[in-house]
Structure 1
Amino acid sequence: MNSKMSSNLQSGAVIYKPSIGREIALLTISKRNWRVGIIGRYTKLNQAFMRFDTNSIVSEPDKRFEYFKNVMLPQIINKASYDFGTLIYVPNYIDYLRLTNYLRNESSISFVSIDEYSSQSKVTRNRAKFADARNDARVMVMTERLHFYKRYSIKGVRNVIFYDIPTDPDFYSQILQFVVDEKIRVEVSVDGNDEEEEEEEEEGGGGRWG
């Protein structure tokens, strides 16, 4: 018998710790899964559809860009709800180049961009910057073709702006799912911190008897 244990027994004092770690872990997992299911199923997203006037299909790209520049961009810059986590989804690559060039050269907004021609290192780096609210990448501009080919899961998305209608209807719900996933991640993270505090309190419930 271990000499330390023997001396404890002889003195009539035994240290004990409740064996509830596994039960707490299972309860935590079940609770988190339940919360994820509830949030994912019942999350409602506020959606606003903007309209701009154009005389012909030929002038449509210019009118769309002017509307974004004069109406949408000031909201992104000034509204608190756009402080970080805004994804701009652009179906057309020419529109994407035009938009990113303008943001880079004519605006003060901090942003990152990824497209189907971006290197893997650039995609990884910019996704990480955008996902971390502590960085200054408030906005991410992404092309539809990148989503079509890679189907990356973009973390940190709080708002989505569709620069134009997606060419595939399924892409609309897939992109909005980023917002739902972010809400789940935040909710579970907050809930997990609370549970860790509860576990520490439970584990601190050991005692002595003699």
Structure 2
Amino acid sequence: MSDRTWMQVVIYSCPPESVNRVLDVLEQFNLDNEYVLPDDPERDPAAPHRLPSLELGRGYIHSETPCGTSNDIRQALPEDAAWKVWEEPTYVALGEVYLNHPDLALFKADCDHRGRPVFSSGEVDDLVELTGGDRVQLGHRTGRTWEMALEQLEAINNGIVIPRDTATASAPLQAAALNQLASGPARWLPPDASGLARATTAPNR
């Protein structure tokens, strides 16, 4: 029975004032673009920052981390950034995925090895009965609404690099995609969507 698993974090947008916090979280949990093995030394807290900048759309990974760490990471990441955190399934349990978008709040689900939400046949039946098969309602309850919003951000921001200590007055990198979500078609958001009240205008980030 394994108590360790593979972990990945992707940041799709981040206000300049939250970049340092995100980088500190990535360093705290030893996440990088290289595989980290169990015998690798832990980072010295007194050492210079290992991650001088944040690259949007890039996967920050750890190949051997304790199960349940995804929950610790999602609690540490800022809510005003858009991100995906997931850990792979083990031999005895499904993985966990967390999707966050500033206009939608947080979505959590069990997931497969690629971070895709998964549901049992019984859960699917319950969701169809609960929503009457409405695709918008189903999208909100299965995470598809979040995936669509994050896909927009990825298309616009992928590959952008934001250095540490970036001035708050710098360009709002995710404003275009957030505006598309905030003022876009109402079909995305069912009446009980979390964050719906905040979605009348685009956030100023």
On whether the aligned pair clears a TM of 0.5, the verdict is: no
> Which one scores higher on RCO, CA 8 angstroms, separation ≥ 6?
1
Greater percentage in strand = 2
Superposition TM-score, scaled by structure 2 size: 0.27
Greater percentage in helix = 1
> Which is higher, the Rg of structure 1 or of structure 2?
1
